[in-house]
Structure formats: structure tokens, C-alpha cells
Amino acid sequence: MSKVNWIDSQSDNNLWETRPCAPQAAPPSFLRHQFRHSWTVDAPVETVWSWLNDPDTFTSGQVPPYRVEFASADIDVPRGFQVGGLNMHHGPGLLASGTLVELVENSYRDLQYFYGSYILSVRLVRPTRLQFWVEPKGAGTLVRVHFDTLVQGWFDLVWDVGCKSFWWMFSYWMRKALQSGRPR
């Protein structure tokens, strides 16, 4: 079981505690990669949270053949960002499917990926977990993302650059969307 422990001296929020992760496995040549990024948005927590948990944020303007799907194996769990809900990003070189295991309104979301998920190739990058935290910061909102993957050792630095680029772009899309009042 892997653990993430993020200590934030500015917050007494117990959501920063260690959280268990679904079991994952990879060949011995893979490394555990933990990418961390944070940014601020000039919008209230509720607005940021709503954007981050709106399926349209991820499905509007999708570039074919890539898609994001939301489903539920339980008729009592609505499709979308609900605990127990299923989520899948797919397209050439991408299959990242998982389930939302925890959701704390206006605060925290934990998506854990299933064994067999991959980015680029199952032999290069295997996503394991994606966590978001939001909290008030001044007149805006601080957003933190933790993206955990298993990465082929020789690809680790390339993957780190890719993560930095993607999550910088994601934060840019979020800011622009919230300024304009619509999804990406």
C-alpha cells in the first residue's frame, strides 16, 4: 500500500493526512513517480470546485479520437463525479480508467486508477491516483493536485517534464474558463 503524506503548516485541515491507495503493480524497472503542483485561481472555492467536478469540463471540446467517459456500475450512483462513479480517459496511447473513492464537498477529490491503466504505453507510464484539494486563499482559491504514477525508470525525467507541462496548461485552462464563465 502506498501512502502520500503532505504536511501543510498553513492549514489544520485533516485532509492532508496519509491516505491509502488501491493496490498497484509494475515490473521492477518501474519507479513510483509523485507529481505535485499547486496554483491559485481568482474565484471562490465553490466556483472552482463546481468547475473541477463538472463532467462538461472534461467532455466539452474533446479532440477526437480522445474521449472522457463517466459511468456507474450501481444504479443508485449517478454518472459523474460521485463516490463509486467510474471515469475513463481513452484514445490512442491512453487508457486511464478508475473510480472515485472519496469526495469531500468544496475540499477534496480522490480518483484511484485500476490496474492496467496506462499513458503512452503500458510499458512506460501507469497512472495510479489523482487527488485534488481546494481551499480558500485570500480572495481566491488554492488548488493542489497530486498525480501518482508508476513510470519506467529511464522515462522518469521525460515524464516529469510532461507532467509539468500538462498541469501548467490545466491550471491555465481552469483560470481562462473561470474568467469566461464556461468550461474549457
Least confident of 73-77, 102-106, 115-119, 120-124: 73-77
> In angstroms, rounded to a whole number, what is the distance separating the alpha carbons of residues 183 and 176?
9
User: Concatenated DSSP letters for 35-82?
Assistant: EEEEEEESS-HHHHHHHHT-HHHHHTT--TT-EEEEE-SSTTS-SSSS
Whether the predicted pLDDT of 38 surpasses 50: yes
Report yes or no on 126 lying in a domain. Answer: yes
> What is the spatial distance between Cα 109 and Cα 7, in angstroms, rounded to a whole number?
17
Q: Domain tally for the chain?
A: 1
Question: Do 119 and 102 contact (CB within 8 A), yes or no?
Answer: no
Q: Could you report the per-residue pLDDT of 39-58, keeping only the tens digit for each?
A: 999 999 999 999 999 999 99
Q: What is the dihedral of CA 35, 36, 42, 43, to 10 degrees?
A: 80
37 within a domain of the structure (yes/no): yes
Q: What's the average model confidence in pLDDT over 78-83? A: 86
Q: What pTM value is reported for the model? A: 0.86
The reply to whether 12 falls in a domain is: no
Please indicate, yes or no, if residue 16 is contained in any of the structural domains: no
Per cent of the chain over pLDDT 70 is 86
Q: How confident is the model at residue 132 (pLDDT cuts 50, 70, 90)?
A: very high
CB distance 177 to 51 below 8 Å: yes
Instruction: Tell me the CATH number at 140.
Output: 3.30.530.20
Averaged pLDDT, 28-33: 94
d(CA 151, CA 34): 10
Quote the domain boundaries for residue 56: 32-180
Q: Which tens digits make up the pLDDT trace of 137-146?
A: 999 999 999 9
User: Does residue 38 or residue 79 have the better pLDDT?
Assistant: 38
Residue 47 lies in a domain: yes
Torsion sign over Cα 63, 45, 143, 175: positive
Residues in the chain: 184
What's the chain's average pLDDT? 87
Is 125 domain-assigned?
yes
* Residue 9 within a domain: no
64-76: b (≥16 Cβ within 10 Å) or e: eeeebebeeeeee
For residue 117, tell me if it sits in a domain.
yes
